[in-house]
C-alpha cells in the first residue's frame, strides 16, 4: 500500500557499498535502511561463484528477517553472479544490483560509443559490465581496466593525496594516449566513488564519469516511484540500522570514509550469518 515505511535492505561484502547507501540517502530522504557489511568474509571477488551466491543468500536472509521491502546488492561481484538467484529466491521482493544501472548510464552518456570500465580484477575477469553494456549498445567499444590499488587508497581515505594522483595517472594515462579514447568512464567498483573528484580532475570535464552508486540510487528511486513501496513523505525521521560480520569498531571507523559521515560503533550490530 502507499506509504510503505518498511526499510530498504542493502548489502555488500564490506565497506564499499556504503557509497551506495550514501547515494540512496541523498536521493531518498524519507526512506529507512538496513545495511549489512559481510566484513568477516571479504573480499567476495576471490571466492567462487557458488560461494558468492551462498553468501549472498545468507546476507539477504538476514535482511528479510528485518522486514525489508527491497534488496539492493551494493557489490559488483555479487551483482554479477548472484542477481538472478536472489531475484528467484526473494520474489516478490524487488532486487536491484549495481551493474545494470551503471551500464545503462554509461550507454546514455557516451557520444562516441567508447566506454571504459574501471573496476577490480575480479569484476574485469568476469566482464559483467561488458556484457551489460553490449546488451544495450551492441556496437559499443568497451575497455576494461583493473585498478586494484584504488581499493586500498579509498579504504585509507586517501581521496586527495599525491599518491592517489600518481596512481590515477599510472592507470589512466595509457587509456588516453591514443586517438579515439573513451569519452565515458564507468566507476565499476563501489569503492571508487571516494576517488571520483580526483579522477575527474585528471581526465578533465570532457570525460563523463558514471558513478555506480548514483546510478543504482536512481534505479531504486525509479522502482519505488512505479510501485506501492514508496514511503509517505510524512513518515517518521530516517532510521538506519547497520550490521557487520566482524569488528564493529573497524566498520564504524573505515565505513565513515565511504558513508561520508560518522558512524557510531554502538549503532552497528555484530552478526554471524551462518547462525541466521
**CA-CA distance, 251 to 233, in Å (whole number)?**
31
**Which top CATH class is 100-212?**
alpha beta
3-state secondary structure of 182: coil
pLDDT of residue 231: 86
* pLDDT given for residue 155 in this prediction: 86
pLDDT in tens, 195-217: 999 999 999 999 999 998 999 99
Q: pTM of the predicted model, to two decimals? A: 0.92
Output the nine-digit C-alpha cell for 48: 567462487
Q: Which residues neighbour 203 within 8 Å (Cβ) at sequence distance 6 or greater?
A: 172, 176, 185, 209
Q: What is the CB neighbour count within 10 angstroms for residue 224?
A: 21
Q: Which three cell numbers stand for residue 8?
A: 530498504
Q: Strand 240-244 relative to strand 33-37: parallel, antiparallel, unpaired?
A: parallel
pLDDT above 70: percentage of residues in the chain: 97
Mean per-residue pLDDT for 34-58?
92
Distance CA 59, CA 205 (A): 39
- Asked: is 8-97+215-275 a CATH 3.40.50.1820 domain? The reply is no
Residue 147: active-site member: no
According to the model, what pLDDT value does residue 42 have? Answer: 86
Listed by start position, the domains of the chain span: 8-97+215-275, 100-212
CA distance 61 to 275: 11
Cβ-Cβ contacts under 8 Å for 197 (sequence gap 6 or more): 159, 160
Residue 1's pLDDT is 46
pLDDT score at 105: 96
Q: How confident is the model at residue 95, as a pLDDT?
A: 97
User: C-alpha angle 244/223/6, rounded to 5°?
Assistant: 50
Q: Do the domains 100-212 and 8-97+215-275 match in fold?
A: yes
Task: Dump pLDDT digits (tens) for 80-126.
Answer: 999 999 999 999 999 999 999 999 999 999 999 999 999 988 889 88
Residues 6+ apart with CB under 8 A from 270: 243, 244, 245, 246, 248
User: Which entry of 189, 210, 219, 257 is annotated as an active-site residue?
Assistant: 189
Residue 75 a catalytic site member: yes
What is the rounded average pLDDT for all residues in the chain?
93
Cα 114 from chain centre: 22
The pLDDT of residue 236 is above 70: no
Q: Which one of 8, 75, 105, 146 is the catalytic residue? A: 75
Amino acid at each position: 500500500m502507499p506509504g510503505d515505511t518498511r526499510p530498504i535492505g542493502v548489502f555488500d561484502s564490506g565497506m564499499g557499498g556504503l557509497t551506495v547507501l550514501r547515494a540512496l540517502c541523498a536521493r531518498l530522504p524519507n526512506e529507512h535502511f538496513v545495511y549489512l557489511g559481510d566484513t568477516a568474509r571479504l573480499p567476495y571477488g576471490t571466492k567462487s561463484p557458488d560461494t558468492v551466491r551462498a553468501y549472498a543468500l545468507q546476507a539477504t536472509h538476514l535482511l528479510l528477517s528485518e522486514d525489508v521491502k527491497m534488496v539492493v546488492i551494493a557489490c559488483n561481484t555479487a551483482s554479477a553472479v548472484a542477481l538472478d538467484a536472489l531475484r528467484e529466491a526473494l520474489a516478490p521482493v524487488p532486487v536491484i544490483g549495481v551493474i545494470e544501472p551503471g551500464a545503462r548510464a554509461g550507454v546514455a552518456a557516451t557520444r562516441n560509443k567508447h566506454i571504459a570500465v574501471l573496476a577490480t580484477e575480479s569484476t574485469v575477469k568476469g566482464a559483467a559490465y561488458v556484457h551489460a553494456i553490449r546488451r544495450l549498445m551492441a556496437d559499443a567499444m568497451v575497455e576494461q581496466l583493473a585498478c586494484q590499488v584504488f581499493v586500498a587508497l579509498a579504504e585509507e581515505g586517501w581521496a586527495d593525496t599525491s599518491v592517489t594522483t600518481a596512481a590515477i595517472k599510472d592507470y589512466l594515462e595509457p587509456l588516453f594516449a591514443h586517438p579515439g579514447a573513451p569519452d565515458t568512464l564507468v566507476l565499476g567498483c563501489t569503492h571508487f566513488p571516494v576517488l571520483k573528484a580526483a579522477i575527474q580532475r585528471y581526465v578533465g570535464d570532457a570525460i563523463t564519469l558514471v558513478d555506480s552508486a548514483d546510478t543504482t540510487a536512481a534505479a531504486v528511486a525509479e522502482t519505488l516511484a512505479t510501485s506501492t513501496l514508496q514511503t509517505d513523505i510524512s513518515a517518521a525521521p530516517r532510521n538506519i540500522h547497520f550490521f557487520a560480520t566482524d569488528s564493529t569498531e573497524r566498520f564504524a571507523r573505515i565505513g565513515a570514509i565511504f558513508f561520508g559521515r560518522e558512524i557510531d560503533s554502538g549503532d552497528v550490530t555484530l552478526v554471524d550469518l551462518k547462525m541466521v
